[in-house]
Structure 1
Amino acid sequence: MWLSLGDKNSGYFHAATRGRRARNNISVFEDDEGKTVYEEAKIAEVITNYFEKMFTSQTGSRAEAVNQGIKPSISTETNRRLTQIPSPQEVNATIFSIHPDKASGPDGFSASFFHSNWETIGE
């Protein structure tokens, strides 16, 4: 029916528009205290107040809230082991575990360079 009558300035077109407008209209709203609001100006005020509260910063320490939300996922001992400087043997084992033909690292040198020049650059 829309295809045949929709482009004409007809009663059907206006009825469809009125129906859409009625669905998109907010006629009743409830504020944060649970009171029902019917007037358009009051509805706009309730919506404005809601978003003003949502996007207003509050004073206080954010660090405390963040620290309460973050729980340690590793132990102190594991953290110590992860942050310690690796031994020369660990570096050597890691370098030689990389295939020589792999792509170069951010410094532009491939594993093959480190393998062939380890005597000079190892320390």
Structure 2
Amino acid sequence: MRPLDPILFEQEQQLLQQYLIFKKTERSSLIQRAKIQDVKYNDAPTSYYFSKITARKHQVTIGTIMDRQGIEKVGTQDVNQAFVDYYRWLLGQNVAVNCDPMTELKGNKIFTSDWEGLCKEVTQIEIQNVVFSIDSNKSPGQDGFSAYFFKKSWETKGGFLQSHSVFL
């Protein structure tokens, strides 16, 4: 046994790299097989399909809630009724609404000077900085154009972006 032999150390590093590549390939293969199974069985009315629906239902179900009086409501019917009662109470009142969020918020607050900065006009340079900070390999936006397209055509399309802030 020669633990400090540089040749053995180099061989160990090469074998470790091969192992990591094989492990990554195996994981990718398992993920692809799982996706195929999911596609194959997801829409068919099988026990797999119904188990997926049941699991999803449990993820989005509210099991308990406190009503306005602080009483805990348990079970689907009682929780549903607590929501209905709350919104009937809320929508049935004519209450003056305080439009100043600074009096309602708790925690970190935005000061008036910061609000003004958020409402200022966006400049062409700021738009260009944002566009060029996006990785070119990102998937296209809703308009079908990628950041790579906008970067390559900046000289001709740059002004278009400022007038169409939907891109940002």
Point out the structure with max Rg over C-alpha: 1
- Give the TM-score, by structure 2 length: 0.35
Alignment TM-score, normalising by the size of structure 1: 0.46
